[in-house]
Every structure is written in structure tokens, then in C-alpha cells.
Amino acid sequence: MQLTPEQRTIRDLAADVARKEIAPHVAAWDREHVFPRALYTKLNDAGLMGMLVPERHGGSAAGYVAYALAIEEISRVDAGTAVTLSVHSMICAAIDKLGTEAQKETWLPRLASGDAIAGFALTESDAGSDAARIRATATRDGDAYVLDGRKQWCSSGRFAAVVMAMFRTGGAGAGGISAFLVDPSTPGVRVERVTEKLGVHTSDTCDLAFEDARVNADALLGNEGMGFSGAMTALTRGRIGIAAQATGILGACLDASVKFASERQAFGKTIGAFEGISFKIARMATDLAAARLLVYEAASLADASEPFALAASEAKLFASTAARVHASEAVQIHGGYGYTTEFPVERYYRDAKITEIYEGTSEVQQIIIARSLLGKL
């Protein structure tokens, strides 16, 4: 795909900041599960925090192709930072699309400047893929809503200044759900549990408990009853980001595999001279190229304001599967070294798996794709 000069600039800025500000620290951050809060100021200096925020609210309005390129470059170095930035950007886009002028003025300049990070809270212990089953409630009380319930695995929950959180305001099902912009420092909101996880250790994931937490009625994002569709609107955009994250992991696997296969000797040859290894690398490169095209296709449609939900699901399904499969192959190519922390491929292997799970599992993506072909199943 032919990139515009602006898109190339954003990609190069993201690659540069990843190389200088993330690469030297990522192994330690991963090992020690550090959320590098100060890094987001540097990402802001590179203009990456407001990629999906209009210029009049302090963003760069760079668009989805530029955003996908930036997420891919950052994920090539650290998938944890990439998901934080992706979720943050998806909430920026949701506020821009669904918010009132006052909400946009309150949040978008702060989010675009990196002063504030945004999180997302839909999932509950009994409602993941079947998100319409959420039970947390928002009860109207005068000019406020009172929030009660638990949200599980909220990205950036401990560090976010604002979380787009879904609560039940009406009856059962999707139509009874509303979205709110909640500051997690609101009295009655607390971090209940920090999630220990397989990978993406530089991202923050936690459970948030809401007990009699009062927010002003103007925290409602969109109308009452529109929260489920608002969450799906956000997630559809977010899937472009996760597909780009998976593509970045895949790119990192390819770089590491080519380097190792060109240097490691066995039976008097570099291992890259064996078909058993070189064919793995050939397939990795081909899937990387295909994943990129699918991501660009979805992002280009979004930039053109064309329907892109199907393309986003296809991109996420393909790129996340490819990342998981080839991260395993990258470990295999590295042999025993691949299983140790001496080489980064064990991290890519751990990080790749989550791309098949969050923002709609691979099964959910297949439901979306199949429905678009066959109608409601």
C-alpha cells in the first residue's frame, strides 16, 4: 500500500521512540511487570497519544492507517505498551464519536496530550464474550448516577484518568446498558485486584469495584440504553489496533528468526540453510505481509468512513492467529535459547496469545464474519 508522507512520518516517529525509549528497558519492565507511566509523555512528544483526536481538541487527527502503523511499530518492540496505546486511542475515538461537546472539551485535550490515559471496563466475571449479560448497575439519583458492581480485567485501570465503563441502567439485555466516563479516583471506586498474567506485562490490568460511587449525570456517554452499541462501536475500532499489535509481534518474530537463523550453526551450516528452518521463515514473512494488508484494508475503510467492521474482524482473526502460530515457530527456530529469557522470542510467544482473546476472541470474530455472510446464525 502506498503511504502518504504523513503516515510515513508517524510510522517512523513510532519506530524511533520504540527503539530509543522502549527497547533498552523492555526486558526489565517485562520481568518486573512495570507499567512505564512516564513513557506516555514521550509517546505524546512524538504526537502518538492523540492520533484519533481531532486537531481542534489538541490531537493530530492522523487517522486509522497512521494509528495502525504506529501500533505495529511499538508492538514490534513491546506489545504491552502497544495495547495500552491502542485502548487509549479507541476511547479517544469513542468520546469523539459519542460524546457531548462538554465531554470532548473535558477529556480529549488531556488524552491527546498524554496527561491522561484512558481505559475500558466492560467485562465482568460472568460476562465476557456475552457482554450483554453484565450486572453492574447505574441508578439515577437526582443529577447523579450511583454505580455499583465489579469490572474485571480493566486495561490501564490503575493509571487511567478516565474509564469508559458500561453499567445496567434499564432491564435485561443489550438495550438496558449505558456507557459512562468515570474517573477511577471517584470515591467508591477502588482497585480490587491486580491481574497476574501470562504476557503483556508492561500493560496494566485490574479489577475495579464500584460501591455507591456517585458520578454526575453528565458522565453518561451517549444516551441511556446506548451503552452496548457504544461499547461495540469502540471495540470495532479497537480491533484494528489489536490486529496491528499482532502484526507487530509477528514482525518482531520474523526479525529475530532471520537474525538467529543467519548466525546459528549446526552440522557445519547456518541453520537458515536447512529447508526445515527457511520454510518456517518464508511462511512467517508471507503471513506478515498478508496480516499487514488486512490491517491496512480495515484502517483505510475506517479512514474513508466506509463500513469496516467485517474487515476489522478479518484482520484481527488472521493477524492474531498468525502471531500465535509464528511466535511458537520463532521459539522453535531458536531451539533451547528460544525458551530462555536470553532471547526475546519467549516474550513474543507469551504476548501473542492474548491477541486471540481480548476485544473479541477468535471465535467471536468468526461469528461476526460468518453472520455477515450467512445472516444471524
H helix and E strand count, the chain: 12, 10
Q: Min. distance of Cβ 60 from ligand FAD in angstroms?
A: 24
Closest separation in Å from C-beta 127 to ligand FAD: 7
**Does residue 359 have an active-site annotation?**
yes
Binding range to ligand FAD, per CB under 6 A, among 29-37, 151-159, 207-215, 259-267: 151-159
In this structure, what C-alpha cell is assigned to residue 352? 501473542
**Are 274 and 122 within 8 A, CB to CB?**
no
Residue 205 or 257: the one with the smaller Cβ distance to ligand FAD is 205
205 near ligand FAD, rule: CB under 6 A: yes
Which residues, numbered 118-137, are part of the site for ligand FAD (CB under 6 A)?
120-123, 128-130
Among 153, 228, 296, 348, binds ligand FAD (CB under 6 A): 153
322 makes contact with ligand FAD (CB under 6 A): no
Does 9 bind ligand FAD (CB under 6 A)? Our answer is no
Q: Which one of the listed residues 21, 73, 124, 359 is annotated catalytic?
A: 359
Return the range that interacts with ligand FAD (CB under 6 A); candidates 60-68, 133-141, 260-268, 354-362: 354-362
How open is the CA angle 254-52-361, to the nearest 5 degrees?
Answer: 55
Strands 265-266 and 189-194: unpaired
Nearer Cβ to ligand FAD (127/258): 127
From candidates 354, 355, 365, 368, binder to ligand FAD by CB under 6 A: 354
The site map against ligand FAD for 71-90 (x = CB under 6 A) is ----------------x---
Residue number closest to ligand FAD, CB atom: 128
Single residue of 132, 191, 209, 357 touching ligand FAD by CB under 6 A: 357
Among the listed residues 83, 53, 70, the one whose alpha carbon sits nearest the alpha carbon of residue 16: 70
Of the residues 13, 69, 154, 182, which one makes contact with ligand FAD according to CB under 6 A: 154
Q: HSE on the CB side for 51, CA within 13 Å? A: 30
C-alpha cell at 31: 520481568
Whether the Cβ atoms of residue 107 and residue 181 lie closer than 8 Å to each other: yes
Should residue 363 be labelled a site residue for ligand FAD when binding is judged by CB under 6 A? Answer: yes
| Residue number, 75 or 257, with CB nearest to ligand FAD | 75
Q: In the structure grid, which three cell numbers stand for residue 101, read together? A: 461537546
Binding mask 155-194 for ligand FAD (x = CB under 6 A): x---------------------------------------
Which one of 208-216, 244-252, 257-265, 357-365 is the stretch in contact with ligand FAD (CB under 6 A)? 357-365
Show the beta-strand stretches assigned E in 109-168: 118-121, 137-141, 144-155, 162-168
In angstroms, the CA 316 to CA 307 distance is 16
Whether 94 and 52 have beta carbons less than 8 Å apart is answered as no
Report how many residues bind ligand FAD under the rule CB under 6 A: 22
Q: Which residues contact 22 (CB under 8 A, 6 or more apart)?
A: 36, 39, 74, 77, 78, 81
Q: Locate cell 484519533: which residue?
A: 52
- What's the farthest any 2 CA atoms get from each other in the chain? 79
Distance separating alpha carbons of residues 317 and 11, to the nearest angstrom = 23
List interacting residues with ligand FAD (CB under 6 A).
87, 120-123, 128-130, 153-155, 197, 200, 205, 354, 357-359, 361, 363-364, 367
Q: What residues act catalytically?
A: 359
